[in-house]
Chains A and B, each alone.
Chain A
Amino acid sequence: MTDTSVQSAANNDVREVDQVVIRFAGDSGDGMQLTGGELTRTSAIMGNDLATFPDFPAEIRAPAGTIPGVSAFQVRFSNFDIHTPGDSPDVLVAMNPAALKVHIGQLKSDGILIVNTAKFRATDLKKAKYDSNPLEDGSIDGYRVIQVDLEKLTRGALEESPLDTRSKDRCKNMFALGILYWLYNRDLEPTLKYLDEKFGAKKPDVAAANKDVVKAGYNYADISGIFQTSYKVQPATFMQPGRYRNIMGNQSLCLGLVAASRQADLPIMLGSYPITPASDILHQLSTYKSHGVVTFQAEDEIAAVCAAIGASYAGKLGVTSTSGPGLALKSEAIGLAVMTELPLVIVDVQRAGPSTGMPTKTEQADLLQAMYGRNGECPCVVLCARTPADAFEAAYEAVRIAVRHMIPVILLSDGYVANGAEPWRIPDADQLPAIDVKFAEGVPDGTRFEPYARDPETLARAWAIPGTEGGTHRIGGLEKSEPYGDISYDPENHERMTEMRAAKVQRIADELPPLEPLGGEEGDVLVLGWGGTAGAITAAVSRMRADGKNVSSICLRHLNPLPNDLGDVMKRFKRVLIPELNGGQLALLVRARYLIDAYSFAKVQGLPFSSDEIMAKVEELLAENDG
């Protein structure tokens, strides 16, 4: 933090800082996601750059006060370009001992710790498995501890409210939020307006209570003297001119699909089955009916993808959304789409596996599944979304490739990208790239229609949709010969068709723009990443370059085919480091394909990389280079 002191009119010290990282942690019933979300929204409206990291348990409501029930939300906002939600928080709000226990380890050594003393009774400590009270045993003395009895103060603020005590207590997160709003000079208005919109019409008493409590928290921080200093984070100035909104990864992915659907003039037919953390895609697209989106909640993952394939076959944009276990179930059907050469977009919002794994935790371990997880030689296009805002372009590109090349595209997102938020420069809908779609025309009676006639440039077959007169033909999962699609067991034909399906994927690489490494075209270390690690990699490399280190990075969008120039770019660096939230899957692919000694940096904790971790690893390689 760099800061400059100024004196505020209200006689307290206001310091300007360029960024802050705040983490709210409490029970899953404490409203931490909502509280963090409000601070995020307000900061977005105030023009800061920001990034968020929600971290919640899989259980809807684990037993109150226990460690498995802790839910957290981290938000970082700044006046400069940031790429991650921050490594360690400046402020930790701990609503109970369990939250303190889980999160205190990451708080900065001089960080502010706000604790809700109402929940530090002997029973609460026991639930969190504390032998002694951390508020009294000296274990947290190093932090700037602010002890607040949120329950008492909230009830006090609501003496006049008709709500029962239980309902009053549920407002205590707003008291904590109010304190933070004062501490960081946030505008209360957006949240007051939101509370009116959320509860106003149906539950005016609840709206009033929440508003009173957030204001009470703000005023308490102002007059109680618990802080000597408040902080200001000016709006971010680096940003490209334009209109911005705050956006989460799942949201922008949906918008990318809808935008591409309009540009291609192909209505979306989403087949999906609820699964964490992809369900929000189904929810979101279900509200876009006025944009022609049809959503189908199928009986299972297989039916979901099959319905999407059926829709594509009949001339719509078939999309299916899922997470890793669902992708596994869909694999046979994806093979059918590869075999019948139909466009299809498969969204996999990855989570920690294997099997059910840790559904709410992030991971990138489905890369090899996306690449190879099907029977036979069965290549798909594989793309990834790198940040919440980037998911828009990734989805758009997925649709473009699927319909132009008549091929299934697997789009990998992950829990971190899906649930994270950041500012997004809203694109001009009329300036979006065109996506041209042409359906095949029928042939006169007495002539055979050729469903496997190919475009010489892309090798895509004709998109011949039922309903076209003179276009009747049969397709299926059996090996076929060209151009009629007749079943064929001929050995040479099978090999030719296998090569054709692979060549179709490879052709896509020819139309990709050249890679532009962040940093230089050559140097000591190239950090090569893909997907949601982009933020941490970009942050780490930017900082190291500022320190004069000869380090660059590439965060891939296209994973299959890989860009044609990737091999040449990598060769211009002494070392290549591949950080991944898996056991080293991209590293395996890169080493096999390019025969280079890429260094894998694997992490599988269900947590994203911090930029510090990546910097430390790059330093190691630099030291080896020197040594």
Chain B
Amino acid sequence: MSTTGLTKKDFKSDQDVRWCPGCGDYGILNAVQTAFAKLGKKRHETVVISGIGCSSRFPYYMDTYGFHTIHGRAPALATGVKLANPDLDVWVVTGDGDGLSIGGNHLIHALRRNVGLKIMLFNNRIYGLTKGQYSPTSEKGKMTKSTPLGSIEEPFSPIALALGAGASFVGRSVDVFVDHLVPMIERMDQAEGSALLEIYQNCNIFNDGAFKSFTDKDVRDERVLRMEHGKPLMCEKDGVQRGIRLDSNLQPELVTVGENGIAIDDLVIWDEKRPNPAIATALARMSEAEMPVPIGVFRDVARPTFETGVLNQVAVAKERSTQSLQDLLTGGETWQVD
């Protein structure tokens, strides 16, 4: 429950929201405002920082402090904010183009350093604001304005990339799963250091239905794998339980409980606290066509934050030194001219 008495509405700014009607961003904005109210956030202590792209319009719609920066650089700018004032609650909004293409370098380094940033990566697998070119997460063969014969590039998995960068909190949710998205935002908030949440977001203009094959109501129960800490990796539809087991090469395989002598105990019991990200990475890299799509927390481990380390060094240096500014200016060897 909120401790500030602020409601979802209090986090809405006075600006008209200008995403295309039907855009998945509306659902995410709504979920964030809901979560912020539930978390009892104070508006003046919250900063929302974005880069460039459809998703990056986000700060204008939040009644918090907001900074709409330049393409790809939001994590870098937010790192400076956090170093300047670690008490601020800093949220970064980015997309698959902003965060993984032009800004890929800043994203991986923010995660590697464990800067206390909450990064929401809206992944619509397309460039929307520039009107429909393929992105680093577009599937191979994607026909777009800039790839009329189909893209020949392999897409990134943002989750695998974040895990590879050593991110301490990595999660995934979906714009239309409000019941999942709001709690995931709350989980990010609890993470001590950097948190990356990939949010599958439908662009109904340039890439409509990109996630339909597993988010549609009639298939989601069997196509979406909701990972929960301490519970078996399993989805269930019409009484059929299917889940993930590791084969002899430690690769995930999809099995059906009750078939071939497989019991629930044979499935992977999900452990998001595991220090080694190998299994989480393997799950992130599973074929979307052949396997259920995992959502939830891939990893949540404790690591000291970057800003704490940096500012501790400063605090210790201040405590140990009695050097005045005059001492510093004077330096070592001097001579007097009369």
User: Which A residues form the contact surface with B (CB < 8 A)?
Assistant: 41, 44-47, 190, 235-236, 239-247, 255, 258-259, 262, 269, 271, 288-294, 296, 298-300, 302-304, 306-316, 318, 332-333, 335-336, 340, 425-430, 442, 448, 465-478, 486-487
Q: Name the B residues within 8 Å of A340 (CB-CB).
A: 67
> B337 and A242: CB pair below 8 A?
yes
> A288 and B328: CB pair below 8 A?
yes
> A311 and B84: CB pair below 8 A?
yes
Closest CB of chain A to B35's CB: distance in Å? 18
> B338 and A243: CB pair below 8 A?
no
Of B41-49, B248-256, B262-270, B291-299, which stretch is located at the interface? B41-49
Given known contacts A47-B337, A299-B106, A314-B85, A474 and B13 CB-to-CB distance under 8 angstroms: yes
Closest CB of chain B to A561's CB: distance in Å? 26
Among residues 101 to 159 in chain B, which have CB atoms less than 8 Å away from a CB atom of chain A?
Answer: 105-106, 109
> B85 and A466: CB pair below 8 A?
yes
Chain A interface mostly:
mixed
Among residues 45 to 61 in chain B, which have CB atoms less than 8 Å away from a CB atom of chain A?
Answer: 45, 47, 49, 52, 59-60
Q: Can you sample 24 A-B contacts with CB below 8 Å?
A: A47-B335, A239-B337, A255-B329, A269-B83, A271-B80, A290-B317, A290-B320, A294-B311, A298-B76, A299-B76, A302-B76, A303-B106, A307-B76, A308-B80, A309-B69, A310-B77, A313-B67, A313-B81, A426-B331, A472-B43, A474-B60, A474-B66, A477-B69, A478-B68
Of A243, A244, A475, which is within 8 A of B66 by CB? A475
Q: What is the CA–CA distance of A249 and B105 in the complex, to the nearest angstrom?
A: 33
Q: What is the CA–CA distance of A293 and B79 in the complex, to the nearest angstrom?
A: 16
Closest to B332 in A: A245
Of B47, B60, B73, which is within 8 A of A466 by CB? B47
Given known contacts A258-B325, A296-B310, A472-B44, A309 and B80 CB-to-CB distance under 8 angstroms: yes
Closest to A197 in B: B332
Of B317, B328, B332, B334, which is within 8 A of A258 by CB? B328
Closest to B318 in A: A290
Closest CB of chain A to B68's CB: distance in Å? 3
The 9 closest A-B pairs by CB, nearest first: A310-B80, A476-B68, A307-B80, A290-B321, A289-B317, A314-B84, A303-B76, A306-B76, A474-B66
> B333 and A44: CB pair below 8 A?
yes
User: Which B residues form the contact surface with A (CB < 8 A)?
Assistant: 13-15, 43-45, 47, 49, 52, 59-60, 62-70, 73, 76-85, 87-88, 105-106, 109, 310-311, 313-314, 317-318, 320-321, 323-326, 328-338
Q: What is the CA–CA distance of A427 and B326 in the complex, to the nearest angstrom?
A: 8
Of A308, A448, A472, which is within 8 A of B65 by CB? A472
> A307 and B44: CB pair below 8 A?
no
> A315 and B44: CB pair below 8 A?
no
Of B70, B77, B334, which is within 8 A of A426 by CB? B334
> A244 and B68: CB pair below 8 A?
no
Interface centre among B317, B329, B330, B334 (most CB of A within 10 A): B329
Closest CB of chain B to A144's CB: distance in Å? 32
Closest CB of chain A to B33's CB: distance in Å? 14
Q: Name the A residues within 8 Å of B15 (CB-CB).
A: 474, 486-487
Closest to B48 in A: A474
